[in-house]
Chains A and B, each alone.
Chain A
Amino acid sequence: GENVEQHPSTLSVQEGDSAVIKCTYSDSASNYFPWYKQELGKRPQLIIDIRSNVGEKKDQRIAVTLNKTAKHFSLHITETQPEDSAVYFCAATTLATASKLTFGTGTRLQVTL
């Protein structure tokens, strides 16, 4: 089955700096890679996703890059703000089977003033 590794486990940045979170996956059949943000005690919420036919996707301050050959994808947050503080999870799945997401272990991002 799929295995997703995520680094770093914690990340502290100053407000306005950029944050980068990296994930690797094992199953070459995986073709859909969402990123979820989870605040304490809340549901995971999708913030951005990318399919394997695209190398990069951007949405305002958030971008995701995908390297299919190396089987890794990354989340980039620019101009970080205190409200970006949360736990971020990467995930991978195969759209054809429309089944489970395999999640990484999460990155706790702390944006300090």
Chain B
Amino acid sequence: DTGVSQNPRHKITKRGQNVTFRCDPISEHNRLYWYRQTLGQGPEFLTYFQNEAQLEKSRLLSDRFSAERPKGSFSTLEIQRTEQGDSAMYLCASSGIGGIPRVYNGNTIYFGEGSWLTVV
């Protein structure tokens, strides 16, 4: 179990293009989160899944953003018609009892390395 993994790690795209990021949480973690982080700021919450259900969405998540977790395991975050203001690091995180070995604290939110997006 290698923790939360995200890909791609870096993406440069032209304004107006669509991009998709994938997140694989810690195995058996039922909660999955997406955050966005810009330089010099703390992570900002975007959305949260419990299993396959999307339970909360931030007002930061405009209609150009969509997140899915179809089978309650991996998740994707798609940004349509990217704008320069979308340039940021997109962090995925997960929490819950799980992992091999079962040492992960149920309350702790574990972050992936992030996916850097640059819109030019």
Q: Which residues of B contact A71 (CB under 8 A)?
A: none
From residue 82 to 110 of chain B, which have CB atoms closer than 8 A to chain A?
91, 95, 107-110
A73 in the interface, Cβ–Cβ < 8 Å? no
The 8 A-B residue pairs with the shortest CB-CB distance in the complex, in nearest-first order: A103-B42, A100-B45, A43-B111, A43-B113, A44-B111, A89-B42, A99-B48, A106-B42
**A46 and B110: CB pair below 8 A?**
yes
Q: How far, in Å, is A93 (CB) from chain B's closest CB?
A: 8
**A100 and B48: CB pair below 8 A?**
yes
Chain A contact residue count (CB 8 A cutoff): 22
**A98 and B50: CB pair below 8 A?**
yes
Contact of A32 among B55, B58, B107, B110 (CB under 8 A): B107
A61 in the interface, Cβ–Cβ < 8 Å? no
Q: How far apart sit A89 and B43, CA to CA, in the bound complex (Å)?
A: 9
**A103 and B43: CB pair below 8 A?**
yes
A91 to B, closest residue via Cβ: B42
Q: How far apart sit A36 and B110, CA to CA, in the bound complex (Å)?
A: 10
Also in contact, A43 and B114, with CB within 8 A (given A34-B108, A99-B55): yes
Q: How far apart sit A33 and B100, CA to CA, in the bound complex (Å)?
A: 26
A51 to B, closest residue via Cβ: B107
Contact of B45 among A44, A49, A101, A106 (CB under 8 A): A101
Task: Flag A11-32 by CB within 8 Å of B: 1 or 0 each.
Answer: 0000000000000000000001
From residue 69 to 110 of chain A, which have CB atoms closer than 8 A to chain B?
89, 91, 95, 98-106
A45 in the interface, Cβ–Cβ < 8 Å? yes
Q: How far apart sit A105 and B43, CA to CA, in the bound complex (Å)?
A: 8
Also in contact, A105 and B45, with CB within 8 A (given A43-B112, A44-B111, A99-B55): no
Q: How far, in Å, is A104 (CB) from chain B's closest CB?
A: 6
Q: Which residues of A contact B114 (CB under 8 A)?
A: 43
Contact of B44 among A49, A95, A103 (CB under 8 A): A103
Most chain A CB atoms below 10 A, which of B110, B111, B113: B111
Q: Which residues of A contact B91 (CB under 8 A)?
A: 43-44
**A102 and B113: CB pair below 8 A?**
no
